[in-house]
Structure 1
Amino acid sequence: MPTVSKWGAVAATAVSLAALAGSASASHDPYSPARGIGTGRTEAIRLTSTSTGTTVVDNGTSGPGIGDQIIITANLFRNGAAYGTEGAVCTRVAADSTLCSGTFSLPRGQISWQHLKTTPIGTPPSDFDIAITGGTGAYATVRGYAHIARIAESGGALTLYLLR
């Protein structure tokens, strides 16, 4: 069975990152909320995460390859305080591509996300965006993206740019 530290643990843990920190100014941010998500009320939420579990499923031929999956769970934090959880599944869909989807479960609802990332097997992704695909509760009409800025096997940091 592949080791937990391969491509998915880091990729999914990256999305499990977070410490929600209120609205952010877009003035000096290259990943401003206005970047390609239209007009309306925007909110930037900074999160950190700590991994609570990673399971590698070796599908198909033995060893790393297409069809392998990594299931990740994490605790989410806002300004250092517990703020929610995240669950994600990443599937290797090509030798250099991983398709991931997941959900952030926050106090006011859930936010779902998805991305297709090109990263060779064994290479963790870094500094990338994921699409916000929907939500529930206070996030029922949300759209936008999240920028993953820092990744580690144990957790990381990201910013959600939400448009309502």
Structure 2
Amino acid sequence: MRPVRAACLGTATALAALLACAPVTSAATGTGSAHGASHGKGRAPVITLIGRLAERTPLPVNPGGPAAQGDQVVVRSVLEDLDGNVVGESGGTCVLTRAALPGDPGGAEECIVTYTLPDGQLTAQGMYFGILNPGPPPSFDNAITGGTGKYSKARGTVHADTIGVGVRRFTITLG
């Protein structure tokens, strides 16, 4: 996550985010739906989400000052499938756990994100490193911690890549 005073991509997450620099996501699978698609025998279902940042509210510890441990950001993103159809939304919070240090200016955040899809919700949590570095937000991986509905026993991972300003691609691997 970037300092709460800087522009970010959403969660995430929510996972990222998604996560400050939160996830803006869209959902799609190999079948074009928001449902996991099995890709062969023994392979875990995968959902691809494109997230578009809709809202972002920073809550800095030192307003107007440098990034500090405890800075928070709350984010919401619209989720789309790969065809551009809106299939849900994500919402989450991130807390800066490590501000910039000498020799390590990147910082770190912990994020908790919920992805709301047609058949239920997925929750994800994890660390996000390098969020204070200049340039596009870095990729990250978070753990799926649970879910509801079709995803009630979900486990797996969420991988997020920045693909544009305020836009991320999430690859959710259920397993």
Same fold (TM over 0.5): yes
Partner of 2:73: 70
**TM-score in terms of structure 1 length:** 0.78
Cα distance between partner residues in 2 of 1:66 and 1:120: 13
**TM-score in terms of structure 2 length:** 0.73
Task: Label 1:7 to 1:111 Cα distance change in 2 as closer, same or farther (>3 A).
Answer: closer
Q: Say which of 88, 91, 108 aligns to 1:84.
A: 88
Partner of 1:43: 45
**Alignment length (residue pairs):** 151
Q: Say which SS state the counterpart of residue 138 (structure 1) adopts.
A: helix
**Two-structure CA RMSD over aligned residues (Å):** 2.9
Q: Say which SS state the counterpart of residue 46 (structure 1) adopts.
A: strand
1:94-138, Cα deviation, whole Å (9 max, x unpaired): 122110011001110000001112215244542321111100011
Task: Label 1:98 to 1:80 Cα distance change in 2 as closer, same or farther (>3 A).
Answer: same
Task: Label 1:120 to 1:162 Cα distance change in 2 as closer, same or farther (>3 A).
Answer: closer
| Bigger share in helix | 1
| Bigger share in strand | 1
Partner of 1:36: none
Cα offset, 1:21, TM superposition: 1.7
Task: Label 1:114 to 1:139 Cα distance change in 2 as closer, same or farther (>3 A).
Answer: same
Q: Say which of 119, 128, 133 aligns to 1:117.
A: 128
Unaligned runs of 5+ in 1: 27-38
Letter in 1 for 2:86: A
Q: Is the 8 A contact 1:58 1:64 kept in 2?
A: yes
Letter in 1 for 2:157: Y
Unaligned runs of 5+ in 2: 12-16, 31-36, 100-106
Partner of 1:148: 160
Please say which of residues 120-129 and 43-52 is displaced more in the overlay: 120-129
Cα distance between partner residues in 2 of 1:148 and 1:137: 23
Cα distance between partner residues in 1 of 2:22 and 2:38: 20
Q: Say which SS state the counterpart of residue 113 (structure 1) adopts.
A: strand
Please say which of residues 147-156 and 5-14 is displaced more in the overlay: 5-14
